[in-house]
C-alpha cells in the first residue's frame, strides 16, 4: 500500500523522490563502493533513531518521472545504484529497476522488508526493525541481513532474524550511531564469540559524505 496517491505514481513511472546523488556506499557488504543513491520518500516503520526522519512524509516529495532520475544516474560514472528511503518497497519499483537494468547498472536495495517486493535487484540488504518486522518473503530475498544494535537486547533480535534468512545470506551487526561509543565494544565481543556475524560501520559518517 502506498502512502501517497497511487494515481500520481502512474504505475511506477513516477516516484516520490527525496534526493538522488553519487557517493560512496558507507555500510554493509558494499561499503566503500561508489554508487548512485536514489532515495524515495515515505516510511511507516518509525524507528526512534532513524537518521532519515525527513523522508517519512511522502507528501513533501512530489512524484518525479523515473526517466529523469535514470538519466541523471546514467550521466555519471556510477556502475551501481542503491535504492533506499524511507522504505522504497512502498512503491511499484518494476519500471525503475527495469530502466536501470537496461542501462547495464547493478541495482542494490535497502529495505526494512515491511512491504511486498516489486522490481528486480542484484543485491538486497534487509534491515529488520522490531516494531514492524519484515514480511516472510523478505527473508528469502535477502543477500545481506543488517541488524542495527542499540542495546544488548538487540543481539537476540539479530539471532531471531538470522534464523530466517537463507544459508548464504551475509550477516552484519551495525552500531546505532548515537550510542556508538557505548555499544561498539559489546558488538566487537559478540562478533568474536559468534563469528558468522561481521560488523558494519557507517563509514560515510567518518568520510563526511552523504
Ligand atoms: S525503516 Fe529506515 S527509514 Fe524507516 S524509520 Fe526505520 S530507519 Fe528510518
Read off the CATH number of the domain in which 167 is found.
3.20.20.70
Please name the residue whose Cα sits nearest to atom 7 of ligand 1.
50
- The per-residue pLDDT for range 130-163, each reduced to its tens digit, is 999 999 999 999 999 999 999 999 999 999 999 9
Q: How many domains does the chain fold into?
A: 1
Q: CA-to-CA distance for 67 and 142, rounded, in angstroms?
A: 27
Residue 141 lies in a domain: yes
Q: State the pLDDT confidence band at 7, using cuts at 50, 70 and 90.
A: confident
Over the chain, what is the mean pLDDT?
Answer: 96
| Residues contacting ligand 1 via CB (< 6 Å) | 43, 45-47, 50, 52, 55, 85-87, 112, 129
Q: Which of 16, 81, 90, 83 is nearest to 54 (CA)?
A: 16
Residue 1 lies in a domain: no
**pLDDT attached to residue 8:** 81
**pLDDT attached to residue 202:** 97
**pLDDT attached to residue 6:** 73
Q: Is the predicted pLDDT of residue 5 greater than 90, yes or no?
A: no
Q: State the pLDDT confidence band at 128, using cuts at 50, 70 and 90.
A: very high
Residue 77 lies in domain: 6-207
Over residues 115-123, the mean pLDDT reads: 98
Please name the residue whose Cα sits nearest to atom 3 of ligand 1.
86
Q: State the pLDDT confidence band at 3, using cuts at 50, 70 and 90.
A: low
Q: Is the predicted pLDDT of residue 185 greater than 70, yes or no?
A: yes
Please name the residue whose Cα sits nearest to atom 8 of ligand 1.
50
Which helix or strand (DSSP H or E) is residue 172 part of? Answer: strand 170-175
Over residues 51-78, the mean pLDDT reads: 95
Which contacts qualify for 163-168: CB closer than 8 Å, 24 or more apart? 164/136, 164/139, 165/126, 165/139, 165/140, 166/139, 166/140, 166/142, 168/143
Q: Which three cell numbers stand for residue 180?
A: 556508538
Which helix or strand (DSSP H or E) is residue 206 part of? Answer: helix 203-207
Q: What are phi and psi of 68, to 5 degrees?
A: -65, -45
How far is ligand 1, taken at its centre, from the CA of residue 202, in Å?
Answer: 15
Residue 135 lies in a domain: yes
How far is ligand 1, taken at its centre, from the CA of residue 86, in Å?
Answer: 6
Over residues 85-106, the mean pLDDT reads: 97
Over residues 26-37, the mean pLDDT reads: 98
Residue 203 lies in a domain: yes
Residue 122 lies in a domain: yes
How far is ligand 1, taken at its centre, from the CA of residue 178, in Å?
Answer: 15
Q: Which of 125, 131, 128, 95 is nearest to 110 (CA)?
A: 125
Q: Is the predicted pLDDT of residue 2 greater than 90, yes or no?
A: no
Amino acid at each position: 500500500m502506498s502512502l501517497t496517491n497511487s494515481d500520481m505514481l502512474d504505475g511506477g513511472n513516477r516516484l516520490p523522490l527525496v534526493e538522488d546523488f553519487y557517493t560512496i556506499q558507507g555500510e554493509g557488504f558494499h561499503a566503500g563502493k561508489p554508487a548512485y543513491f536514489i532515495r524515495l520518500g515515505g516510511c511507516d516503520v518509525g524507528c526512534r533513531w532513524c537518521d532519515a526522519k525527513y523522508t517519512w512524509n511522502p507528501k513533501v516529495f512530489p512524484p518525479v518521472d523515473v526517466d529523469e532520475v535514470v538519466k541523471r544516474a546514467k550521466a555519471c560514472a556510477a556502475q551501481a545504484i542503491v535504492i533506499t528511503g524511507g522504505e522504497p518497497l512502498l512503491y511499484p519499483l518494476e519500471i525503475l529497476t527495469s530502466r536501470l537494468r537496461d542501462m547495464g547498472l547493478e541495482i542494490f536495495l535497502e529495505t526494512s522488508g515491511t512491504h511486498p517486493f516489486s522490481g528486480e535487484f542484484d543485491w538486497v540488504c534487509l534491515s529488520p526493525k522490531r516494531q514492524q518486522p519484515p514480511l516472510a518473503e523478505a527473508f528469502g530475498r535477502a543477500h545481506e541481513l543488517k541488524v542495527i544494535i542499540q542495546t544488548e537486547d538487540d543481539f537476540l533480535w539479530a539471532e531471531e532474524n538470522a534464523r530466517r534468512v537463507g544459508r548464504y545470506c551475509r550477516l552484519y551487526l551495525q552500531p546505532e550511531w548515537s550510542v556508538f561509543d557505548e555499544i561498539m565494544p559489546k558488538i566487537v565481543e559478540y562478533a568474536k564469540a559468534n563469528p558468522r556475524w561481521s560488523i558494519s560501520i557507517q563509514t560515510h559518517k567518518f568520510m563526511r559524505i552523504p
